[in-house]
Amino acid sequence: MMVDVQKMEQFAENLAAQEEVKGRSLLADARRRFFHNKAAVVSLIVLSLVVVFSVFGRTIAVWSNEEIDWGILGQIAELGAPNIENGHFFGADQLGRDLYSRVIQGTQVSLMVGVVGALIAVIVGTLYGAIAGYTGGKVDNVMMRFVDIIQSIPYMFVLILLLVVFGRSLFMLFVGIGLISWLDMSRIARGQTLSLKNKEFVEAAIATGVKPLTIILRHIVPNLLGVVVVYATLLVPQMILTESFISFLGLGVQEPNTSWGALINEGAGNMQYGTLWQLVFPMFFFIITLFSFFFIGDGLRDALDPKER
């Protein structure tokens, strides 16, 4: 018995030490692995280009994002097509406004929404799920039923009340997004944690008396990252589209400002009316950005996988 315990402790110490060492080399390792992944690197470049475009694209714009080109208003299908000469590089929207400027401005909003939403999900969702799963028992049960409730209450009323009580602002948009983005993530993190906490390295850490919070942060969370990162990239498009629902209720982005969700929605509505560019340009940026996020996510997953050597 005595021997057993001693052996266990020794084993655990070794293991902990090993983890420490690995912890330091892990990042460098991960970076190396990430930059060896071609798809991920290309995606990173594409994403950077999109960001650069959204920041500096405006400098060559001829029209602002709100000016109506009265000359083509009413004849968009005939006169509103993409055209270098009149300055509508991406064509015009149904109201004769410059799509190029609108896409740039929409890109800023939607990138921000997607990234902030995913970040909230990653931070709040992962920690919440890991704590619930690791603690288990009553705490787990109460914490997860809380998630069930939040997920089932009519979200629309929460948004409407936010609008009425606090008024509209970009910050409230993020509050609205943040309220729901982490829910599924917490479930996934908890499920994984339930399984992880029975693994030898966690049991060993427990045996050596490491504090629960430290175990969660040092041992559980790093092992969750693979699935968390992949799921976060799935969340990005969801958040970007949720924004247009929030804006529908009046809480989010208001005209004359716009977002990818709003632009795509408008373009999709008009797709059979000969103004396909209204769908194509916003969709193009939406798609290349999401592709980039996905491949970066996969690259990160592969790079961060603690088991991968």
Residues 174-203 that bind another protein (CB under 8 A): 183-184, 187-188, 190-192, 194-195, 198
Is there a contact between 273 and 77 (Cβ–Cβ < 8 Å)?
yes
Closer to another protein by CB, 91 or 237: give it: 237
DSSP code string of 125-187: IHHHHHHHHHH-HHHHHHHHHHHHHHHHS-HHHHHHHHHHHH---HHHHHHHHHHHHTHHHHH
The radius of gyration computed from the CA coordinates of the chain, to the nearest angstrom, equals 24
SS3 88: strand
Closer to another protein by CB, 44 or 188: give it: 188
Within 216-245, the residues that bind another protein by CB under 8 A are 226-227, 230-231, 233-234, 237, 241
Handedness of CA 73, 79, 80, 84 (dihedral sign): negative
Closer to another protein by CB, 17 or 271: give it: 271
Closer to another protein by CB, 24 or 307: give it: 307
Within 20-59, the residues that bind another protein by CB under 8 A are none
Which of 1, 2, 70, 84 binds another protein (CB under 8 A)? It is 70
Q: At its nearest, how many Å lie between another protein and the CB of residue 210?
A: 20
The tally of CA atoms less than 13 A away on the side-chain side of residue 289 is: 26
Is residue 154 a contact residue for another protein (CB under 8 A)? yes
Is residue 171 a contact residue for another protein (CB under 8 A)? no
Which of 157, 166, 212, 213 binds another protein (CB under 8 A)? It is 157
Is residue 74 a contact residue for another protein (CB under 8 A)? yes
Q: Which two tokens stand for residue 303?
A: 């790079």
Q: At its nearest, how many Å lie between another protein and the CB of residue 174?
A: 19
Mark the segment that binds another protein (CB under 8 A) among 13-21, 27-35, 64-72, 108-116. Answer: 64-72
Q: At its nearest, how many Å lie between another protein and the CB of residue 156?
A: 5
d(CA 219, CA 134): 11
The tally of CA atoms less than 13 A away on the side-chain side of residue 235 is: 27
Is there a contact between 103 and 263 (Cβ–Cβ < 8 Å)?
yes
Is residue 206 a contact residue for another protein (CB under 8 A)? no
